[in-house]
Amino acid sequence: MKNIGTEILIILGISLFMTNLSIAQTKCKVLDPGINGTYIGKCRNGLAHGYGSAEAKNKYEGRFKNGVPHGKGIYTWANGDVYTGSWQKGIQHGQGVYTYKENGEHKVKNGIWRKGEYVRDIPVKPFIVGQITNLEKYSIKRLGEGNRVMVRFLYMGRHGYVPNDFDFKVLSGVGVTEGLNTGYEEVSFPTKIRIRYTVPDKLGQGLRIPVRFEVEIVEPGNWEISLYN
């Protein structure tokens, strides 16, 4: 037979814990009016302090100090603009990347900020290749302005191979297929891309060879990635 009294005590305990947690979160203030709605994270003296996330009309995730962003963090405005980098006393200060739209085009400022003002660029590569496993070669081309990434597969030099087990992930965007090519459009840059799939071994032994390819594309555009096996 179940011990009803014990169950009631457990339920009351959980309820009390959640209530105290809610009160603690409510008492922990964020001083930036753009993100002072909901806060989850560390506190000190009633203010957000340490790592946390806050959201109202805008949202922020990263380090706080005395109720405002301070240290490394990502701030996303309601219009889709994003700043990733260093903060000091609630304003951009140090190295950071700001992605935004201007006249309908995606723009990126990557460089040094001083007290909220952008002071100079830091030259960066348009993309940074990460882990590669069992891939003969690859090519990455920017075909023009845009906001999408397409991938095509080539097996033994022939275009037309489409893996039936590929896993293709991008941080943002809408999936799209064009012929034998697949990808994402409406992508927000910079974005990280991870592709995994298998191909038959070329010796005909019935083995499946796992392939992995990772890249971070920094510059907005219409990108084509070709993977050769």
At residue 134, the pLDDT reads 95
Is 79 found in the same domain as 136?
A: no
Distance, in Å, from the CA atom of 120 to the CA atom of 104, rounded to the nearest integer, reads 24
Q: Which of 10-19, 42-51, 164-173 has the lowest mean pLDDT?
A: 10-19
Q: Is 49 domain-assigned?
A: yes
Do 223 and 171 share a structural domain?
yes
The answer as to whether 12 is a domain residue is no
The secondary structure element, H or E, covering residue 47 is strand 47-55
Q: Please count the structural domains in the chain.
A: 2
Mean pLDDT, rounded, of the chain: 86
Is 133 within the bounds of a domain? yes
Are residues 91 and 115 located together in one domain of the fold?
yes
Rounded Cα gap, residues 30 and 37, in angstroms = 8
Would you say residue 29 has pLDDT above 70? yes
204 shares a domain with 145: yes
pLDDT tens digits, one per residue of 128-180 = 999 999 999 999 999 999 999 999 998 887 777 788 888 988 888 899 988 88
Find the CATH number of the domain harbouring 113.
2.20.110
Q: Are residues 197 and 115 both part of a single domain? A: no
- If asked whether residues 60 and 150 sit together in one domain, one would say no
In a domain, residue 11? The reply is: no
Pairing outcome for strands 222-228 and 148-155: parallel
CATH number at residue 171: 2.60.40
Token pair of 35 as six digits: 């993100």
Confidence of residue 78 (pLDDT cuts 50, 70, 90): very high
Let me know whether 63 and 96 are in one domain.
yes
Q: Is the pLDDT of residue 15 over 70?
A: no
Final residue of a structural domain among 96, 121, 146 = 121
Q: Could you read off the pLDDT of 88-112 as tens digits, one per residue?
A: 999 999 999 999 988 888 888 989 9
pLDDT tier for residue 225 given thresholds of 50, 70 and 90: very high
Provide the percentage of residues in the chain whose pLDDT is more than 70. Answer: 89
pTM of the model: 0.51
Q: How far apart are alpha carbons 177 and 164 in whole angstroms?
A: 14
Looking at the fold, whether 190 and 220 belong to one and the same domain comes out as yes
Contact 15, 8 (CB under 8 A): no
Q: Decide if 20 is inside a domain.
A: no
For 209, the enclosing helix (H) or strand (E) is strand 208-217
Domain shared by 96 and 32, yes or no: yes
Which domain covers residue 77, as residue numbers? 28-121
Of 97, 121, 145, the position where a domain reaches its end is 121
User: Per the structure block, which two tokens stand in for 69?
Assistant: 């962003």
Domain assignment of residue 199, yes or no: yes
**Cα(192)–Cα(128) distance, rounded to whole angstroms?**
9
Integer Cα distance of 43 and 30 in angstroms: 10
Is 34 in the same domain as 109?
yes
- As given in the structure block, the two tokens for residue 228 are 């050769």
| 17 located within any domain | no
Q: Do 41 and 102 lie in a common domain?
A: yes
Domain boundary among 69, 101, 121: 121
The reply to whether 135 and 106 lie within a common domain is no
Q: How far is C-alpha 174 from the geometric centre of its chain's CA atoms?
A: 15
Domain assignment present for residue 4? The answer is no
